[in-house]
A and B are shown apart, each in its own frame.
Chain A
Amino acid sequence: EAQVTQNPRYLITVTGKKLTVTCSQNMNHEYMSWYRQDPGLGLRQIYYSMNVEVTDKGDVPEGYKVSRKEKRNFPLILESPSPNQTSLYFCASSWTGAGNQPQHFGDGTRLSIL
């Protein structure tokens, strides 16, 4: 089954404790992206990757890191999480980054930073 898988689905942690949210897709997609969803703000793009070893900042990259060593995986790293990073996070992928390619979304990861 074609899917985007995120782990964990839920995480409660404390300020400053490094964490990684994994994202994996099995569709051989070139383009992958991370978004955060906050009430009243919709989805805001954190980072995206056009292909392996190519990553770029989205609209809200501060406090986050990503890597794209393999095509299928695109982990999101919070080196020193802070409470303002409490949010619902989505990973998405598409064949390419071209405008006519709809994105496939994971089911989300809800992070709470205390």
Chain B
Amino acid sequence: GEDVEQSLFLSVREGDSSVINCTYTDSSSTYLYWYKQEPGAGLQLLTYIFSNMDMKQDQRLTVLLNKKDKHLSLRIADTQTGDSAIYFCAETVPTGGFKTIFGAGTRLFVKA
């Protein structure tokens, strides 16, 4: 079945790089996403990558996709205290329409 897995917690020091990892099971994924959730708010799209790409860079964010291992990562360079949030990995799979499957979220703590 479809499943997306992430580690639940990550703690880094301000200024360091953060790497959040995700694995998924459905090889028919078309797009993979990273969403950010701040306390008391909904999810905001950070970035996404099409399944035929290996890497995407957007300012401080770098997404790496290893389709063979079904592994997705999000690297945040120069992590700031404002980056503290929950980060969700998600994949979209075709089901007649499309279905989006979310991981449980990784809570990032940034220490000053």
Contact = CB atoms under 8 A, between A and B. Distances in A.
Nearest to B98: A99
B104 A108 contact: no
B41 to A, nearest CB: 6
Contacts of A106: 42
A99 to B, nearest CB: 4
Interface residues of B, number: 26
Contact of A105 (B31, B43, B48, B93): B43
A2 interface: no
A64 B33 CA distance: 27
Given A42-B105, A98-B98, A90 B42 contact: yes
B100 interface: yes
B50 A100 contact: yes
